[in-house]
Amino acid sequence: MSYRSDLSPSMLPVGLLRRMDIPGPRYTSYPTADRFTESFGPQSYREALRERGSGSRLGGSTSLSVYVHIPFCDTVCYYCACNKVVTRRHSRAGSYLNCLLQEIDLHTEEIGLGQPLSQLHLGGGTPTFLADDELAQLMLALRRAFQFLPAAEISIEVDPRTASPDRLRILAGLGFNRVSFGVQDFDPDVQEAIHRVQPHDQVRDLVHAARSIGLQSINADLIYGLPRQTPESFARTVAQVGALRPDRIALYAYAHLPDRFKAQRRIADHDLPTGDARIQMLSQALAGFMAQGYSHIGLDHFALPSDSLAIAKKQGRLHRNFQGYSTQPDCDLIGLGVSAIGRMGACYAQNAKTIEGYESAMRAGRFATERGLRAGRDDLMRRAVIMALMCQGRVDFESIELAHLVPAREYFAAEVERLAPFVQEGLVEIDEQGIQLTPLGWFFVRGVAMVFDRHLQTDRDHARCSRII
């Protein structure tokens, strides 16, 4: 069986969209972050780093990916579920930057200087909250600590309200070659409801500037299901974004969890679109972006056929980590900053979630690891299956058997049996060689992957997750 990426919008039945509108993980890792425990602390993370630094770990990846979390924002966006600190006191960034520099040093003490780096991403919060000289200081420290490979992807998230063409040129001068703009929605009424007003013309000018500067890839983030959105208004946003021709588009579903995220309590429930309206928005957006020539990468990501992500998808070279879909091989990931998550081989580690806890750890000269885990043999097998589904849309039983020395078909017999409804829906095909998503099934890959999630199948508590649709 071979994967086919083309799909007619008519192949997305509304009834199926409704049936699949359930909560589920996004599988940027397996086990997922909600399974991390406090028994994995700073010393456990230090040992994982030492394994990499000594070269004693079997099958370890060679290059690194680094994520830096900058939590500060000038104002609060009501929909936001990110770890953030809302403040207009830009002086707060100074002490935080010093902590980041110390955390970089803590890592190089364990793994040594000059480890090859193939991917760097600054996220938040608002990374451009840092002043130009602060960003320059951070980038200098990172370049001293790691060996940036010639083709390294160096990206930063940009709030269009805090940027200008001149600022983009400075970012390019610091080495950033990719930029992601948080668009969310262009409708003025929706922007007012989410407390994020940024006119279309402002974003358009930044996209044009980024392209003229020569940035390798421009991404635009959108969210459907926001307050005061309608299928008609969101269709206009889809058309406007498509006309800007960003290289990549991320289309997220808004998860309204006011009990967990205080800012969301400012959103009135009666302003939220109905479930049917959300489904219509998604269906129209899928059809709209594909009609505009975008390739569907997976989940809610799209890319122009010329983009490296679309090429990697076509060639079966997609990977996935906490930064989403990637063209990079399965890298170890170092997470720097408050709440940042890293991965070293079979280990996951997450920093303290409060800025006070993070900075306290740095002042004490120790890692800020608050929770994590070391994946066991079963976890690693299931990770291989779930990531194969998420990235290639196919699981080859022979590959699993060779890598993990188990009879895969027998080991996952119960899961294969639970896939029967997906087969009946026309989402999955199964034969003696493996499991294959159909073109229709690719849009519901999270639901298929959930079948192999032992932790999720055990407790069946999906409420903590965002919805698939």
The domain spanning residue 55 has which CATH number? Answer: 3.80.30.20
Spatial CA neighbour of 78 closest among 224, 265, 273, 229: 265
The token duo for 69 is 């979390």
- Let me know whether 278 and 406 are in one domain: no
Continuous segment of H or E residues that includes residue 217: strand 217-224
The token duo for 345 is 């081989």
| Res. 25 pLDDT band, cuts 50 70 90 | confident
Spatial contact of 218 and 179, defined as CB atoms under 8 Å apart: yes
Range with the poorest average pLDDT among 14-18, 60-64, 241-245: 60-64
Strand, coil or helix: what is 465? coil
pLDDT digits (tens, 9 = 90+) for 259-318: 989 999 999 999 999 988 998 998 899 899 999 999 999 878 999 999 999 999 888 888
Segment 138-149 mean pLDDT: 98
- Let me know whether 20 and 42 are in one domain: no
**What are φ and ψ of residue 117, in 5° steps?**
-120, 125
The token duo for 362 is 């740095």
- Let me know whether 396 and 420 are in one domain: yes
Q: Which residues pair with 168 in a beta bridge?
A: none
Q: According to the model, what pLDDT value does residue 159 have? A: 94
Q: Which residues pair with 303 in a beta bridge?
A: 248, 295
The domain spanning residue 423 has which CATH number? Answer: 1.10.10.920
Look up residue 438 and give its amino acid. T
Last residue in a domain, options 334, 363, 398: 334
- Let me know whether 288 and 409 are in one domain: no
The token duo for 330 is 């399965």
Last residue in a domain, options 334, 355, 389: 334
In a domain, 370, yes or no: no
Cα distance between residue 398 and residue 385, in whole Å: 12
pLDDT value at 187 more than 80 = yes
- Let me know whether 87 and 118 are in one domain: yes
Q: According to the model, what pLDDT value does residue 275 have? A: 87
Strand, coil or helix: what is 59? coil
pLDDT value at 328 more than 70 = yes
Q: According to the model, what pLDDT value does residue 112 have? A: 94
- Let me know whether 258 and 320 are in one domain: yes
Tell me the CA end-to-end span of the chain in Å, nearest whole number.
27
How many domains is the chain partitioned into structurally? 2
In a domain, 212, yes or no: yes
| Res. 88 pLDDT band, cuts 50 70 90 | confident
User: Which has the higher per-residue pLDDT, 141 or 319?
Assistant: 141
User: Which has the higher per-residue pLDDT, 226 or 25?
Assistant: 226
Q: According to the model, what pLDDT value does residue 10 have? A: 45
In a domain, 17, yes or no: yes
The overall average pLDDT reported for the chain is: 91
pLDDT value at 369 more than 90 = yes
Specify whether the backbone of 195 is left (phi greater than 0), alpha (psi in -120 to 50) or beta: left
- Let me know whether 1 and 68 are in one domain: no
Segment 135-139 mean pLDDT: 98
User: Which has the higher per-residue pLDDT, 92 or 329?
Assistant: 92
What's the number of CA atoms in the CB half-sphere (13 Å) around residue 177? Answer: 11
Spatial contact of 299 and 447, defined as CB atoms under 8 Å apart: no
**What are φ and ψ of residue 133, in 5° steps?**
-70, -30
Spatial CA neighbour of 443 closest among 284, 275, 317, 298: 298
- Let me know whether 152 and 174 are in one domain: yes
Last residue in a domain, options 318, 334, 350: 334
In a domain, 85, yes or no: yes
| Res. 24 pLDDT band, cuts 50 70 90 | confident
pLDDT digits (tens, 9 = 90+) for 28-53: 899 999 999 999 999 999 999 999 87
Segment 336-361 mean pLDDT: 96
Look up residue 355 and give its amino acid. I
Q: Which residues pair with 395 in a beta bridge?
A: 435
| Res. 415 pLDDT band, cuts 50 70 90 | very high
In a domain, 279, yes or no: yes
- Let me know whether 1 and 63 are in one domain: no
Cα distance between residue 383 and residue 461, in whole Å: 20
Q: According to the model, what pLDDT value does residue 461 have? A: 54
Containing domain of residue 320, as a range? 32-334
User: Which has the higher per-residue pLDDT, 199 or 7?
Assistant: 199
- Let me know whether 112 and 168 are in one domain: yes
- Let me know whether 12 and 75 are in one domain: no
- Let me know whether 25 and 40 are in one domain: no
Helices (DSSP H) in 13-131: which residue ranges? 14-19, 42-54, 92-111
Q: What is the model's pTM?
A: 0.92
In a domain, 346, yes or no: no
What's the number of CA atoms in the CB half-sphere (13 Å) around residue 47? Answer: 10
pLDDT digits (tens, 9 = 90+) for 193-251: 999 999 999 999 999 999 999 999 999 999 999 999 999 999 999 999 999 999 999 99
In a domain, 354, yes or no: no
In a domain, 372, yes or no: no
Cα distance between residue 61 and residue 64, in whole Å: 8
Range with the poorest average pLDDT among 42-56, 67-81, 149-163: 42-56
Q: According to the model, what pLDDT value does residue 1 have? A: 41
